[in-house]
């Protein structure tokens, strides 16, 4: 069957629309502000071999690593119709424990013809898988919201290998009960998990309808055609990069336990239509949680090279076919159990992007932006709500400045690169937790100077109305976001605690502490680097 370009575009958009609709359903039915307001979730469609076919316009750190979750579920479980696998284990397909992934097979009868839908009976192998991932605001562990300082995975929360949450269409209540018994906010967690199940079910229905309309044979043909098409587009993009080896390095501030900076080093080798991305020379795994599993490293590579392509290129597994990733085992970019990994997902992923872009700027100097804020400024806290006596746990990331581009200023107060979330509205935060937002504004002047200016960061002040346990995982407090082509770096971030009796206490980039009632946490996020003199 020859590939029809028009039909290829139709199928690309059909698959993408399924992932987008799954995301909309997940957001609208979730309980937690982190999912329904910040949109800290992602959805994707995979073919029967577990290859990504379409990704929603969601979180890059999720989407590029989700194929590892699908592969782990396929290997560990013989999933049948109506089954849903669930996992969060970073060493078995996950990334960090708060990110819970669900994977469901989609079986379609091989006798389905155009316009005839016969259900799933008789199908031996799935035609698709659907998957979604959502960041849960608490998954147990030593600190509320499960994002505190930690030295090993066991301190970070409940570790879930691939297990069935649903079997033949019915929720496994005992599995769900085990999870809810290990978290601080079980009602919210149950609501978010149920929303993820609903997103899977919606994806199953839409893909079954799609195959019923177009036929299994044609649908399967275009699943393969999209992989070949995306691989060809990536090869063509690599072809226009001058051959050579492009090197760069940057640093994370520390791991929260010592002042030793953590090096990220990369060498990108371009040879014709292929690329080799080698992280040899990066720091060994650290004591704290800034370790990234290899799925995160591959996700960052996927994101950066995808950014070299036009917006309408399908986000398929084929994009990575011409790209080899080398990440030494036991290093900060390929963590091995039982090290802690909570910060690797959110912070190290951002620095991997920074070093990749810095290296590519040598080859494509008029296409690559300066460094953005380079941190997700993770803030999590929890305690007991005085009015109800019930526990609360809250998590958010705080935006920063975008790096200036070779043709325009960077945007201010936005989430960049591996995160693609929104801000949490003040009303939603104050309704969910005993806090008061005292200030939420741009940090004027924090963007780096240059022909084009880096975007400004944000100032956020939160007053705690009851004694609260607080965790901060942030970075770019010692190493500023770099400028390019003579542009100046953006300002580094700052964390401060203002006690009830006044004064200021400087906080490190990573910290866990108890905030007394009436104290104010002030976070100033980094600005983006400038571009050009």
The confidence score (pLDDT) of residue 397 equals 96
| Residue 282 belongs to a domain | no
| Residue 503 belongs to a domain | yes
The confidence score (pLDDT) of residue 124 equals 79
Classify strands 41-47 and 52-55 as parallel, antiparallel or unpaired. Answer: antiparallel
Q: What is the mean pLDDT of the chain?
A: 96
Query: 39 pLDDT band (50/70/90 cuts)?
Result: very high
| Residue 287 belongs to a domain | no
Please identify, among 184, 205, 232, the residue that sits at the C-terminal boundary of a domain.
Answer: 232
Classify strands 274-278 and 323-326 as parallel, antiparallel or unpaired. Answer: parallel
Name the packing angle between helices 173-180 and 186-214 (round to 10°): 140
- Residue-wise pLDDT for 245-295, tens only, equals 999 999 999 999 999 999 999 999 999 999 999 999 999 999 999 999 999
| Residue 529 belongs to a domain | yes
| Residue 163 belongs to a domain | yes
Contact indicator for 428, 37 with CB cutoff of 8 Å: yes
Domain count, the chain: 2
Distance CA 315, CA 117 (A): 28
Question: Does residue 186 share a domain with residue 40?
Answer: yes
Question: Does residue 215 share a domain with residue 68?
Answer: yes
Query: 119 pLDDT band (50/70/90 cuts)?
Result: very low
Phi, psi at 144, each rounded to 5°: -55, 135
Contact indicator for 154, 118 with CB cutoff of 8 Å: no
| Residue 294 belongs to a domain | no
Tokens standing for residue 59: 């979180």
Mean pLDDT, residues 166-187 taken together:
97
| Residue 440 belongs to a domain | yes
| Residue 43 belongs to a domain | yes
The confidence score (pLDDT) of residue 111 equals 57
Mean pLDDT, residues 493-505 taken together:
95
pTM of the model: 0.95
Range of the domain at 179: 5-232
Please identify, among 179, 198, 232, the residue that sits at the C-terminal boundary of a domain.
Answer: 232
Distance CA 359, CA 266 (A): 8
- Residue-wise pLDDT for 142-160, tens only, equals 999 999 999 999 999 999 9
| The pLDDT of residue 122 is above 80 | no
- Residue-wise pLDDT for 407-457, tens only, equals 999 999 999 999 989 989 999 999 999 999 999 999 999 999 999 999 999
Please identify, among 184, 200, 232, the residue that sits at the C-terminal boundary of a domain.
Answer: 232
């Amino acid at each position: 069957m020859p590939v029809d370009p028009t039909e290829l575009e139709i199928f690309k958009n059909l698959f993408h629309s399924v992932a987008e609709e799954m995301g909309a359903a997940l957001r609208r039915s979730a309980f937690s502000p982190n999912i329904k307001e910040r949109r800290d979730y992602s959805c994707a469609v995979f073919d029967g071999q577990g290859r990504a076919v379409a990704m929603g316009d969601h979180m890059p750190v999720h989407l590029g690593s989700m194929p590892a979750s699908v592969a782990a579920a396929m290997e560990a479980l013989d999933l049948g119709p109506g089954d849903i696998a669930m996992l969060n284990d970073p060493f078995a397909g996950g990334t960090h424990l708060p990110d819970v992934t669900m994977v469901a097979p989609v079986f379609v009868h091989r006798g389905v013809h155009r316009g005839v839908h016969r259900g799933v009976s008789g199908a031996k192998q799935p035609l698709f898988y659907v998957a979604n991932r959502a960041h849960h605001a608490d998954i147990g562990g030593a600190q509320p919201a499960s994002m505190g300082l930690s030295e090993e995975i066991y301190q970070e929360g409940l570790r879930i290998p691939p297990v069935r949450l649903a079997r033949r269409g019915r929720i496994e209540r005992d599995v769900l009960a085990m999870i809810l018994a290990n978290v601080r906010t079980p009602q919210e967690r149950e609501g978010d998990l149920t929303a993820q199940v609903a997103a899977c079910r919606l994806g199953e229905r839409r893909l079954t309808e799609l195959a019923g309309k177009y036929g299994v044979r044609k649908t399967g043909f275009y699943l393969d055609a999209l992989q070949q098409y995306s691989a060809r587009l990536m090869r063509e993009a690599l072809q226009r990069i001058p051959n050579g080896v492009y090197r760069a390095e940057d640093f994370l501030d520390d791991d929260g336990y010592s002042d030793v900076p953590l090096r990220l080093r990369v060498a990108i080798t371009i040879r014709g239509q292929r690329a080799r991305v080698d992280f040899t020379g990066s720091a060994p795994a650290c004591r704290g949680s800034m370790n990234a599993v290899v799925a995160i490293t591959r996700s960052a590579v996927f994101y950066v090279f995808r950014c070299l392509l036009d917006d309408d290129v399908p986000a398929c597994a084929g994009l990575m076919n011409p790209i080899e990733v080398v990440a030494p085992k036991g290093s900060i970019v390929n963590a091995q159990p039982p090290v802690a990994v909570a910060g690797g997902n959110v912070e190290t992923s951002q620095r991997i992007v920074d070093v990749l872009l810095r290296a590519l700027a040598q080859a494509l100097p008029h296409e690559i932006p300066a460094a953005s804020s380079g941190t997700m400024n993770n803030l999590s806290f929890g305690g007991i709500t005085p009015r109800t006596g019930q526990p609360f746990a809250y998590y958010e990331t705080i935006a920063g400045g975008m790096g200036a581009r070779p043709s325009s200023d960077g945007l201010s107060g936005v989430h960049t690169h591996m995160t693609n979330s929104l801000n949490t509205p003040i009303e939603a935060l104050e309704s969910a937790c005993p806090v008061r937002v005292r200030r939420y504004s741009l940090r004027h002047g924090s963007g780096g100077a240059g022909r084009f200016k880096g975007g400004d960061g944000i100032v956020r002040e939160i007053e705690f109305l009851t004694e609260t346990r607080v965790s901060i995982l942030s970075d770019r407090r010692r190493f500023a976001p770099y400028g390019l082509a003579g542009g100046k770096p953006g300002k580094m971030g700052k964390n401060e605690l203002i006690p009830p009796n006044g004064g200021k206490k400087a906080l490190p980039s990573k910290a866990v502490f108890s905030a007394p009632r009436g104290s104010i946490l002030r976070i100033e996020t980094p600005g983006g680097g400038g571009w050009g003199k």
